[in-house]
Amino acid sequence: MDYNDIVTLAIAFGLGMLVGLQRQKSDHEMAGVRTFTLISILGVLSAFLARDFDNPFILPVLGLCLTALLVTANVIKLKKFNDTDIGQTTEVAALLMFAVGAYLVMGHRVVAVIVGSSMAILLYLKEHLHGFIDNLKEKDLAAIMTFVGISLVILPLLPDKTYGPLDVLNPRNIWLMVTLIVGISVVGYFIYKFVGKKVGIISNGILGGLISSTATTVSYARKTKDAKSINKMAAFVITAASAIALVRVLVEVGVVIPEKLPEIVLPLITVFVLMALLCVGLFYIISKNGGDEEMPEPKNPAQFKSALLFGLLYGGILLAVAFTKQEFGNEALYIVAIISGLTDVDAITLSLSQLMKGGGLTTSTGWRLILLASLANLFFKGIMAAVLGTRQLAKWVGISFGITVAFGLLVMWLWPEAWHL
């Protein structure tokens, strides 16, 4: 036995105690901190014996003995307490701890530690998970199932080849971007479910930006028609959601081209900081009024129809960008960015990121086009706020977005090439 074996035993001891502590605190009678510690050490020693004596049968035999012991304990418990509702969580956890102990020796130690600690956390979160599941509605389950279908069923089946004119349409790449966008929206949606409907206006803006800043703009603009006293609050939420949408753009860029993110992040973050300062100003103005508003109930963010439409839009913008660059050069891409940004920033952001990744567009031009698309989207949302909301909302949103658009254009024009991380 060497130093590494001693460390392995110590890790098994710690993981067993961690899981056993949780089981004992949950008043489980079958196994507690001592039993789980012994089981994890048994897994380690079984792997040691199999390794040192070069006998592959030792590990499965001892595993079967542990299984038989757990089955016997279950039968005795059933007869003693006449309990027909016997859960299997502790038994499965015991077998898993045996496997974790063995994998610490025969596999990757980091993986075993992650599995063991994750199991402890999962067991600890039982009540929270049950409460969350009890609160799920039909559309929430539909969102989960649709996202699983999009990411784990459809994506692996798509071919990883380029097709079509200009050789830019890769079905798997396009659907991967669809998965990314739907995933971000689903995360925002379930954060909303965890936080609850009654949240502060700051949370409303953040969640609105994660789910959909455009949908947030429409929802709050319509609310001002019925409650004119919330004009400034609605302007704050719309501005905050649009600021978070810029962070969302940076996340998308970071996923596609992480190596170029240092050259892109500073100018976009500068615009974000300005919008954050505008939010602070609006928040200061409305803070004296008090009273939080309930965030409008968001729609299912993982609808297959919406995902398919985004995929078609993304593919169309890929073609438009490639055609424009080939026929008219990079300068004409500014027109494509403006038109695309009016309706959807995500698609043009991902399209331009893919172009930068392939070397067909310089980073300097790429971030300017992405920022221009974001500014065009702000202009579009400002129009919607003016049309769907009150004059007061149009005034506050117009001031906020007008300052941002003017500042963003100055950043595009004056930003030095040497300024990056």
Q: What is the pLDDT of residues 180-197, one digit of tens each?
A: 888 877 887 777 766 655
Count CB neighbours of 168 within 10 A: 21
Q: Write phi, then psi, for 169 (nearest 5 degrees).
A: -95, 105
Asked whether residue 144 falls in the same domain as residue 94, the answer is: no
Asked whether residue 154 falls in the same domain as residue 84, the answer is: no
Asked whether residue 266 falls in the same domain as residue 405, the answer is: yes
DSSP one-letter code for 169: B
- Is 278 part of a structural domain of the chain? yes
How many domains is the chain partitioned into structurally? 2
- The CA angle 414-419-421, to the nearest 5 degrees, is 145
- Is 234 part of a structural domain of the chain? yes
Identify the domain boundary among 70, 105, 132: 132
What are the tokens at 405?
A: 């658009």
Asked whether residue 128 falls in the same domain as residue 149, the answer is: no
- Is 420 part of a structural domain of the chain? no
Its pTM surpasses 0.95: no
Identify the domain boundary among 132, 165, 181: 132
DSSP one-letter code for 289: T
Asked whether residue 165 falls in the same domain as residue 284, the answer is: yes
CA pair distance 242, 247, nearest whole angstrom: 9
Asked whether residue 113 falls in the same domain as residue 143, the answer is: no
C-alpha closest to that of 23 among 88, 100, 113: 88
- Is 31 part of a structural domain of the chain? yes
- Is 393 part of a structural domain of the chain? yes
CA pair distance 370, 385, nearest whole angstrom: 23
Q: Write phi, then psi, for 227 (nearest 5 degrees).
A: -135, 90
Of the ranges 121-135, 157-171, 200-214, 355-369, the best mean pLDDT one? 355-369
- Is 421 part of a structural domain of the chain? no
CA pair distance 354, 360, nearest whole angstrom: 9
Asked whether residue 193 falls in the same domain as residue 112, the answer is: no
C-alpha closest to that of 155 among 182, 123, 137, 130: 182
C-alpha closest to that of 186 among 210, 214, 220: 210
For a pLDDT cut of 70, what percent of the chain falls above it?
A: 91
Which domain does 105 fall in, by range?
A: 3-132
C-alpha closest to that of 210 among 350, 368, 386, 346: 346
> Which helix (H) or strand (E) segment is 312 a member of?
helix 304-328
Asked whether residue 75 falls in the same domain as residue 140, the answer is: no
- Is 419 part of a structural domain of the chain? no
Identify the domain boundary among 132, 165, 183: 132
Look at residue 376 in the predicted model and tell me its pLDDT.
Answer: 94
Asked whether residue 211 falls in the same domain as residue 121, the answer is: no
What stretches of 26-57 show up as alpha helix (H) in DSSP? Answer: 33-52
CA pair distance 367, 52, nearest whole angstrom: 58
Asked whether residue 276 falls in the same domain as residue 151, the answer is: yes
Of the ranges 127-136, 176-185, 287-296, the best mean pLDDT one? 176-185
CA pair distance 386, 367, nearest whole angstrom: 29
- Is 71 part of a structural domain of the chain? yes
Asked whether residue 228 falls in the same domain as residue 276, the answer is: yes
Asked whether residue 85 falls in the same domain as residue 151, the answer is: no
Chain segment 51-95, per-residue pLDDT in tens: 888 888 888 899 899 889 888 877 777 776 665 555 677 888 889
With tokens 């609850």, the residue in question is 196
